A and B are shown apart, each in its own frame.
Chain A
Amino acid sequence: MTNNNTTWIIDDDPIQIFVATRNLQKIKFSQNIHSVNNAKNALEELKNFTSAKDKNFPDLIFLDINMPQMDGWQFLEEFDKFSWKKKVAVYLLTSSIDPNDSIRAKSFKSIQGLLLKPVNQEDLLKISREL
């Protein structure tokens, strides 16, 4: 997976992080897997990068929609304001496919798709093949 070295998981649910991390590792989705349990913290961490070429800079983000403090949508609005010279693929995580979410997702250029939680290996493999 040359293009996908670093994967971030942003979710407030530790079980989700545990399951997702485990499944990602199982199928060797990427070299680095980094999890953040709060969208605000994730934004802070991203701001600290001086270059998108940093090996810890995410190539792909799994982003939970429903989070306290800052939800996935609010995170994306801030995220899209960055002027990284790198395209980051974002996959939204949701516990139910709400048609409204799909429509809203189309207004964000970074969103590649929606995933139903809990993240299973089949879906991850599919994404991995698409990349």
Chain B
Amino acid sequence: MIDFIKVAHPIISENAQVFQLIQENGLHGVIICKINKHDEYWYNPKLVHSLGYNTERELSLQKIISPEGNGEIKRILKTPDDFGEILTGEINFLHSKGFLIPMTYKSLQVGEHVVIAFKKISDFSHIENNAELNFQREQLLGTVLDTINIGVIACDSKGKLLLFNKAAKKWHGLPPQNIPQTEYAKYYNLYEADGKTLFKTEEIPLLNMLQEGIIRKKKMIIHSVKGKKRAVVVNGARLFDKNENISGAVIAMYDVSELEQIENQLAISETMFRGTFENAVDGMAISDVNGNFTAINESLCQMVGYSAGELKKMNFLEITHPEDIEDDLKVMKELLNSERENVHKEKRFINKNGSTVHVLLSVSIVKDHKLNPLYMIAQMSDLTELKSAQEENVRMLGITKEQNERLKNFANIVAHNLRSNSGNIEMLLDIYTEEHPETKEDEVIKMALTASNKLKETIVDLNEVAFINMSVSEKLIPINLKKSVTNTLESLNALTKKANLRVFNLIPAHLEVLSLPAYLESIILNFATNAIKYRSLERDPILRFEAQKREENIELSIEDNGIGIDLKKFEKNLFGMYKTFHHNEDAKGIGLFITKNQIEAMGGKIEVKSEVNKGTTFTIFFKYDKQ
């Protein structure tokens, strides 16, 4: 230590290689030792300062280097290196305040001496003045500023705009200009939260921050020149120089337009849902994934007879019909396992009063973004009335069927038993009068004969009615209407001539209706004989047949100028059995009944218009082959 300790070691100034080593690598200190004499060393004042000491006095390597570091020094000194090569490594120094300072070293042997140069590992001061790195930093900052979707604007202490990042430029849609502060709001289109009021100069967030250190109005609407409105929320900070004087201000603007829009939409749909939920005619409920009610609307309360308060303490299974629980649980499981998206099913609840409520149930599951079920929304329409109407229909159908069966039996009885017996009576009377000619003038026998005749006629009518087949519609065939009318009327020739009836067959020649030949003939015959029977004796009788093809039907109208029917009185009974409306001795009151039934059996219908003493028009709707 004795005479080595000098401000500069002679080796440093004498050896260029050593000089360069120290210049480059000895930034924080240099130690020079003699080989194999490690207690003879020299170190420079820089090292002393780097370790927090003011003077080199009373310092030793043991004191300033960690024990491992001292071991490292010994190794360096023991390693003979005559070739002037440089060794490198790390050594921990001890700071005067007790902490370690790791440094890298590079050592070089020069004759008997070994020069070791030290540099702090964590110290970057050597690059701080590196111009290239500074440029990189600036570029990094600039890139960040220009790529983030946050508008950043900074000003100097006078409020002059220094920085406008890309986002800010885009939002304003304008190049920054050197204009007075009072023009900022107008030029940059800065409006208050209402979107209409221009900002006052002192309230503009950037200037507000610069002048007062706070931003009073954090919300701002920017109208870009392109017309788009952008809502932003502003944060900021003052900037200070080294001497802690205000050097400017910076603000960051976050675009909240989309957020606001989403919030608005959310508010709208929330309101809509609430309105729907509360006022729905259908019952609605929200439950957790276990089926415990969390919200219930008024309609559901009325449906099941419990108050919303009561239901909120209940699980839906508690009000479910016992027979439906199993299926409900199955469906619920499928929903929760995402095996199905929703449910539409009929189910039954038990009302508080014990009655069964039939509902049509729809359930959807609301899931979070990980598809975990959150809750269930159920909608129920009350089917109870519909159900009971349905049951009533089924019951009525049963009764109708039964009655139909009875009618068939009745028809059989008419066809066979009644008929054969009336025939027998007639025949026996004939035989009797034949064998006892003197009884022919007997009043009782005469009356018996009349009665027998009437009975026979009635039975013939009844028979015809009973055998109108209601399932003929599949046996219908196309029949030319005009020809059919002509042919049928020929068989009435004698009668029409006698009555002086003029018939106009104005049916278009090509029209074909779907019908049974026998029925069609019977229908035409019936109207023709009616026209004769009920003709007016005050005028020449006319019967007019016309037909028209409509979309659904072919309409046949049969018009006479007869005595007419008082529809006000008789419309209800017109097509009934054994109804007569005239005091005509031929009127039996069965014709229209049979006609109507035949028309309906063929899938058609009949309508009537009539005026007393003017005439009657029947309109018959036939089906036709639309192909």
> Which residues of A are at the interface with B, using a C-beta cutoff of 8 A?
13, 15-16, 19, 22, 66, 95-96, 98, 117-118, 120
Q: Are A95 and B431 in contact (CB under 8 A)?
A: no
The answer on a CB contact under 8 Å between A95 and B415 is yes
With A96-B463, A98-B415, A118-B426 known as contacts, the answer to whether A13 contacts B420 (CB < 8 A) is yes
For B418-432 the 0/1 string (1 means CB < 8 A from A) is 011001101110010
Interface centre among A16, A19, A95, A120 (most CB of B within 10 A): A95
Are A95 and B416 neighbours in the complex by a CB distance under 8 Å? yes
- Expressed in whole angstroms, the Cα–Cα distance for A118 and B428 within the complex equals 10
The listed residue (A22, A98, A117, A120) touching B420 by CB distance below 8 A is A117
B466 nearest in chain A by CB position: A96
Across the interface, A96 reaches (CB within 8 A) one of B415, B426, B431, namely B415
**What is the CA–CA distance of A34 and B427 in the complex, to the nearest angstrom?**
20
**Distance between Cα atoms of A118 and B429 in the complex (Å):** 12
Q: B416–A118 contact, CB under 8 A?
A: no
Question: Closest Cβ of chain B: how far from A78's Cβ, in Å?
Answer: 22
In angstroms, Cα B414 to Cα A98, docked, is 12
Residues facing A in B241-291 (CB within 8 A) are: none
Q: Which residues of A contact B463 (CB under 8 A)?
A: 96
Whole-angstrom distance between the Cβ of A43 and the nearest chain B Cβ: 22
Pair A96/B419 contact, Cβ less than 8 Å: yes
Distance between Cα atoms of A15 and B424 in the complex (Å): 7
B504 at the interface (CB under 8 A from A): no
A-B contact pairs, 25 of them (CB 8 A): A13-B420, A13-B424, A15-B428, A16-B424, A19-B427, A19-B431, A22-B431, A66-B416, A95-B415, A95-B416, A95-B417, A95-B419, A95-B420, A95-B423, A96-B415, A96-B419, A98-B415, A98-B467, A117-B419, A117-B420, A118-B423, A118-B424, A118-B426, A118-B427, A120-B427
CA distance A15 to B427 in the complex (A): 9
In the assembled complex, the Cα of A19 lies from the Cα of B427 at a distance in Å of 7
Q: Are B424 and A19 in contact (CB under 8 A)?
A: yes
C-alpha spacing A33/B238, complex, angstroms: 139
Q: Chain B residues near A19 (CB, 8 Å)?
A: 424, 427-428, 431
Main secondary structure of the interface of B (DSSP, over half): helix
A117: chain B residues within 8 A (beta carbon): 419-420, 423
A19 to B425, CA, bound (A): 10
Residues of chain B within 8 A (CB-CB) of A16 are: 420, 424
Chain B residues with Cβ below 8 Å from A98 are: 415, 467
Given A95-B419, A118-B423, 18 new contacts (CB under 8 A): A13-B420, A13-B424, A15-B424, A15-B427, A15-B428, A19-B424, A19-B431, A66-B416, A95-B415, A95-B416, A95-B423, A96-B415, A96-B463, A98-B415, A117-B423, A118-B420, A118-B426, A118-B427
B-chain residues with CB within 8 Å of residue A95 when the two chains form the complex: 415-417, 419-420, 423
Rounded to whole angstroms, the CA-CA distance of A19 and B428 in the bound complex is: 7
In the bound complex, residues from chain A placing their C-beta under 8 Å from that of B426 are 118
**Interface members, chain B 395-420 (any A CB < 8 Å):** 415-417, 419-420
Q: Which A residues touch B416, using CB under 8 A? A: 66, 95-96
Closest to B459 in A: A96
Task: Provide the residues of chain B in CB contact with A118, threshold 8 Å.
Answer: 420, 423-424, 426-427
A22 surroundings in chain B (CB, below 8 A): 431
Contacts of A120 in B (CB 8 A): 427
CA distance A117 to B427 in the complex (A): 10
Shortest 4 CB-CB distances between A and B: which pairs?
A95-B420, A118-B427, A96-B415, A118-B423
Task: Report chain A residues within 8 Å CB of B431.
Answer: 19, 22
Which residues 193-220 of B have a CB within 8 angstroms of A? none
Q: Which residues of B contact A13 (CB under 8 A)?
A: 420, 424
A94 to chain B, nearest CB (A): 8
Nearest-neighbour CB distance to chain A for B252, whole angstroms, equals: 98
Among residues of B, the one whose C-beta sits closest to the C-beta of A66 is B416
Interchain nearest-CB distance for B613 vs A (Å): 40
**List of A residues within 8 angstroms of B427 by Cβ:** 15, 19, 118, 120
Measured between alpha carbons, how far is A96 from B460 in the docked complex, in Å? Answer: 9
Give bound CA distance, A16 to B424, whole Å: 7
Q: Shortest beta-carbon distance, A123 to chain B, in Å?
A: 12
* A95 vs B416: C-alpha distance when bound (angstroms): 5
Q: Which residue of A lies closest to B420 (CB)?
A: A95
The residue on A at minimum CB distance from B464 is A96
Q: In the assembly, what is the distance between CA of A98 and CA of B463, in Å? A: 10
In the bound complex, how far is the Cα of B385 from the Cα of A10, in angstroms? 60
CB-based nearest A residue for B419: A95
Mark B466-496 against chain A: 1 for CB-CB distance below 8 A, else 0.
0100000000000000000000000000000
Contacting A at CB under 8 A, from B430-472, are 431, 463, 467
How long is the Cα–Cα vector from A4 to B307 in the complex, in angstroms? Answer: 95
- Alpha-carbon distance between A100 and B428 when the two chains are bound, in angstroms: 29
C-alpha spacing A118/B463, complex, angstroms: 16
Measured CB to CB, the closest approach of chain A to B422, in angstroms, equals 9
Name, among B416, B426, B463, the residue most crowded by chain A CB atoms within 10 Å (CB to CB). Answer: B416
Shortest Cβ distance from B604 into chain A, in angstroms? 21
Which residues from A are CB-within-8-Å of B428?
15, 19
A124 to chain B, nearest CB (A): 13
| Nearest CB in chain A to that of B435: its residue | A22
Give A22 to B419 CA distance when docked, in angstroms. Answer: 20
Distance in angstroms between the alpha carbons of A66 and B418 in the assembled complex: 13
Q: Which residues of A contact B467 (CB under 8 A)?
A: 98
> CA A22 – CA B467 in complex, angstroms?
32
A15 to B467, CA, bound (A): 26
Q: Closest Cβ of chain B: how far from A15's Cβ, in Å?
A: 4
- Shortest CB-to-CB span from B608 to chain A, Å, is 30
CB distance from A118 to the nearest CB of B (A): 4
Rounded to whole Å, the gap between the CB of B103 and the closest CB of chain A is 124
In the complex, what residues of A have CB within 8 A of residue B423's CB? 95, 117-118
Determine the distance from Cα of A96 to Cα of B462 in the docked complex, in whole angstroms: 11
In angstroms, Cα B431 to Cα A16, docked, is 12
Residue of A nearest to B431 (CB): A22
CA distance A120 to B426 in the complex (A): 11
Chain B residues within an 8 Å CB radius of A15: 424, 427-428
